[in-house]
């Protein structure tokens, strides 16, 4: 597969081989069936008719504001964060271009209050994202933003745009009342699977990303699945084999799936995966716990557990070539014996060495580990990774016999929260 190389040899331990083979066999007819009735998610990589409206809105907002606050939670924010991070958002070096992006995805009284400070709100744009148009946290934020803009003498129609599903819902009613511009949310795609739609791509454009390349990377993954002899290709496709691995290890009692990339620009990918995996698979008393980590930093917080704790995890490490990359240590530091190994080496050299050390140490400790090696951290690669993990999740749900696209338990909690809010008035 272009730009992505999957090696799962060290994850195929003898205790899962039979279940793995059965799972692959079970998935092949499902993939073949998708040729006749593809899921709507599979059409997004080739879609182009939604791009002009996205680009126009992104250009308008970027020209008008020095910072843009994205109001949305869960899948309405995490995918966009993954894409924005391609160009440095959320890393120590910072966002490389465009207005400052702020994802207010966690509801917090202090944080939102400071974001709405009068001295900054006049140069702030707001992008409100909610498929339902009634997400409690997002609507609460919007209902605080509107009076804050009014107090500052700002026109809400100039400062706020959004993405929303169809119907007579609160967000659309407020948009009509205040003249807010809304793009349509994809009708058949839920938030956590919506990263390749305007939900992810509009903020990505604000961060300076080439969204055509993002979708091209996803299209490469789908093309590999759908080309030629589909049944033959499906049996060896990384998403099919990845889902079979995940399911087989769950059957063997490994109920934790660890995703650990060695790149700052893949950090938010792990948080996006965490929601995708947990909310899609955690149903009817079953599921697998997603654990996100980041290398090398989490070698100092989690690897002790990985190596010497319970054998209840399947590991996925993501690396990209870093040797000879970044600042280097002058030879003079080699005079200190404790620093000699660093002399004339780069930051990327140490990242490479530590990633390989973690991979090989996990293997030596007989921990199942899959290695995904990518060529870089750019748009096409990230688009491919996103498509891969969505496919892997959907296929794992199929093996478990559950619906990957609903979240019934979450809905129960939402109803209780609303009732508790109403009780406060009494």
How long a stretch of residues is the chain? Answer: 426
pLDDT of residue 3: 85
Give which of 389, 325, 315, 322 is closest to 359, Cα–Cα.
315
Q: Is 279 left (phi over 0), alpha (psi -120 to 50) or beta?
A: alpha
CA atoms of 18 and 16, how far apart (whole Å): 6
Q: Is 80 exceeded by the pLDDT of residue 2?
A: no
- Positions annotated as catalytic residues are 279, 300, 414
Residues of the chain above pLDDT 70, percent: 99
Q: Is 80 exceeded by the pLDDT of residue 123?
A: yes
Using an 8 Å Cβ cutoff, are 180 and 202 in contact? Answer: no
Q: What is the mean pLDDT of residues 24-36?
A: 95
**H or E stretch at 213:** helix 211-226
Q: What is the mean pLDDT of residues 215-223?
A: 97
State the pLDDT confidence band at 174, using cuts at 50, 70 and 90.
very high
Alpha-carbon Rg for the chain, nearest whole angstrom, is: 23
Q: What is the mean pLDDT of residues 124-134?
A: 98
Residues of the chain above pLDDT 90, percent: 93
CATH of the domain spanning 4-36+214-408: 3.40.50.10490
> Measuring CA to CA, how many Å separate 165 from each of 129, 162, 187, 221, 248?
9, 10, 6, 28, 37
pLDDT of residue 407: 86
pLDDT of residue 425: 78
Using an 8 Å Cβ cutoff, are 81 and 266 in contact? Answer: no
Using an 8 Å Cβ cutoff, are 102 and 69 in contact? Answer: yes
Q: What is the mean pLDDT of the chain?
A: 96
Q: Is 90 exceeded by the pLDDT of residue 414?
A: no
pLDDT of residue 1: 65
pLDDT of residue 411: 80
Using an 8 Å Cβ cutoff, are 254 and 309 in contact? Answer: no
Using an 8 Å Cβ cutoff, are 396 and 243 in contact? Answer: yes
This prediction has a pTM of 0.97
Q: Is 80 exceeded by the pLDDT of residue 334?
A: yes
Alpha carbon 49 to its chain centroid, in Å, reads: 24
Q: What is the mean pLDDT of residues 346-351?
A: 98
Q: Is 80 exceeded by the pLDDT of residue 426?
A: no
Give ranges for CATH 3.40.50.10490 in the chain: 4-36+214-408, 45-209
Q: What is the pLDDT of residues 265-281, one digit of tens each?
A: 999 999 999 999 999 99
What architecture is domain 45-209? Answer: 3-Layer(aba) Sandwich (3.40)
Cis peptide bond upstream of 296, omega within 30: yes
Cα dihedral sign, 262-266-268-272: negative
Q: Is 90 exceeded by the pLDDT of residue 420?
A: yes
Q: Is 70 exceeded by the pLDDT of residue 11?
A: yes
Q: What is the pLDDT of residues 34-75, one digit of tens each?
A: 999 999 999 999 999 999 999 999 999 999 999 999 999 999
CA atoms of 150 and 240, how far apart (whole Å): 52
Q: What is the pLDDT of residues 246-305, one digit of tens each?
A: 999 999 999 999 999 999 999 999 999 999 999 999 999 999 999 999 999 999 999 999
Q: Is 90 exceeded by the pLDDT of residue 99?
A: yes
């Amino acid at each position: 597969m272009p730009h992505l190389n999957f090696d799962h040899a060290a994850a195929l331990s003898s205790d899962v081989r039979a279940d793995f083979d059965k799972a692959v066999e079970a998935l092949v007819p499902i993939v073949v069936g998708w040729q006749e009735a593809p899921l709507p998610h599979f059409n997004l990589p080739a879609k182009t008719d939604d791009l002009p409206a996205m680009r126009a809105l992104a250009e308008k907002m970027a020209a008008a504001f020095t910072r843009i606050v994205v109001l949305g939670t869960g899948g309405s924010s995490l995918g966009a964060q993954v894409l924005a991070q391609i160009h440095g958002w959320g890393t120590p070096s910072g966002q490389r271009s465009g207005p400052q992006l702020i994802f207010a995805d966690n509801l917090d009284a202090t944080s939102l209050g400071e974001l709405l400070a009068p001295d900054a709100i006049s140069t702030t744009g707001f992008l409100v994202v909610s498929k339902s148009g009634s997400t409690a946290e997002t609507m609460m934020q919007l209902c605080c933003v509107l009076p804050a803009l009014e107090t500052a003498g700002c026109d809400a129609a100039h400062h706020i745009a959004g993405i929303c599903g169809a119907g007579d819902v609160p967000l659309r009613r407020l948009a009509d009342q205040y003249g807010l511009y809304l793009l349509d949310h994809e009708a058949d795609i839920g938030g956590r699977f919506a990263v390749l739609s305007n939900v992810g791509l509009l903020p990505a454009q604000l961060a300076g990303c080439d969204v055509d390349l993002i979708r091209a990377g996803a299209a490469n993954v789908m093309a590999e699945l759908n080309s030629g002899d589909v049944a033959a290709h499906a049996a060896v496709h990384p998403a099919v084999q990845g889902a079979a691995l995940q399911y087989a290890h769950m059957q063997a009692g490994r109920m934790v799936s660890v995703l650990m990339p060695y790149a700052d620009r893949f950090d938010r990918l792990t948080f996006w995966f965490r929601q995708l995996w947990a909310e899609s698979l955690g149903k009817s008393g079953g599921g697998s716990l997603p654990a996100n980590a980041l290398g090398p930093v989490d070698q100092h917080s989690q690897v002790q557990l990985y190596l010497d704790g319970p054998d209840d995890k399947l590991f996925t490490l993501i690396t990209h070539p870093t040797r000879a990359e970044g600042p280097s240590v002058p030879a003079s530091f080699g005079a200190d014996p404790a620093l000699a190994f660093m002399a004339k080496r780069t930051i990327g050299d140490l990242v490479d060495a530590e990633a390989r050390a973690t991979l090989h140490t996990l293997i030596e400790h007989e921990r199942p580990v899959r290695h995904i090696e990518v060529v870089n951290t750019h748009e096409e690669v990230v688009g491919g990774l996103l498509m891969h993990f969505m496919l892997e999740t959907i296929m794992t749900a199929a093996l478990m016999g559950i619906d990957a696209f609903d979240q019934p338990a979450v809905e129960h909690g939402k109803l209780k929260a609303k009732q508790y809010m109403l009780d406060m008035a009494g």
